[in-house]
Structure formats: structure tokens, C-alpha cells
Amino acid sequence: MAPDPRLLTADSRPKLWRLARLDFDPVRQRPVLLYPEGAVLLNDTGAAILELCDGARSVGDIVAVLNDRYHADVEADVTEYLDTMAQRELIRAD
């Protein structure tokens, strides 16, 4: 059986679902993730995480980039966020 794409490890290289697109909603002044029959309004941090989900960076790489950017240890928050988005199948790991 193929590995469950909803379960991420530090080595997983998540990318946005093929059907999802990151955009900015000028009406609500919020980043937004759009996909068939759905939309998730994001905060800036959420958008920053999802922008790094390019299928090339691992979860570890994403954490390292954001640790560096925010000068703080964001590992727990970032992995929790990625897990939630993976459970909703809005990001996928190959």
C-alpha cells in the first residue's frame, strides 16, 4: 500500500494540492488559498509557510527557513500547521 499522503515526516517534501492556488484577496486584505468549491482565508504566517511548499523543500528545510526569518524556534508551530493542511489534503507529500 502506498504511504498515506496525509502523514508528513521531517523528510517529506510537501507541495500544494495540484488544484489549489495561493492568492491575495484585496477585499478582505488577506492571503487566501483557492481550490475547487473552497477557499481558506490565511494569515500572513500561514501564507508564508504555504509559499515554501514547493515540492522541493523538505519539512526540515521549511522550518529552517522560517526559524531564520523570524529569529525564533517555530518548528512546533510550523509542523502542526503543515500537519493540519496535509490532513485536509490541501498540501500533499510525495
Partner 1 sequence: MPTDRPTTLLAELTHRCPLHCPYCSNPLELMRAEAELTTDEWKRVFSEARSLGVLQLGLSGGEPLLRKDLEDLAAHARSVGLYSTLVTSGLGLTRSRAERLKEIGLEHIQISIQDSDPEVAERIAGARSVRHKQAAAQLVRELGFAFTVNVVLHRANLDRIEQIIDMAADLGADRVELANTQYYGWGLRNRSALQPTREQVERSREVAQRAIQRYRGRMQITYVLPDYYEAFPKACYGGWGKLYLVIAPNGSVLPCHGATQITGLSFDNIREHSLDWIWQESEAFRLFRGDSWMKEPCRSCPRKTVDFGGCRCQAFALTGDAANTDPVCTLTPLRQIVDRALEEPALPEYQYRYPSEAPLPV
29 binds partner 1 (CB under 8 A): no
Cα–Cα distance, 82 to 77 (Å, whole number): 9
Q: How far is the CB of 7 from partner 1 (least distance, A)?
A: 11
> Among 40, 46, 43, which residue's Cα sits nearest to residue 29?
43
Number of residues interacting with partner 1: please give it, by CB under 8 A. Answer: 21
DSSP string covering 43-69: -HHHHHHHHT-BSSS-HHHHHHHHHHH
Q: How far is the CB of 41 from partner 1 (least distance, A)?
A: 9
CB nearer to partner 1: give 10 or 39.
39
> Is 13 within 8 Å of 63 (Cβ atoms)?
no
21, 51, 73, 84: residue in contact with partner 1 (rule CB under 8 A): 21
Binding site for partner 1 (CB under 8 A): 2, 4-6, 18-19, 21, 23, 25-28, 32, 34-39, 89, 92
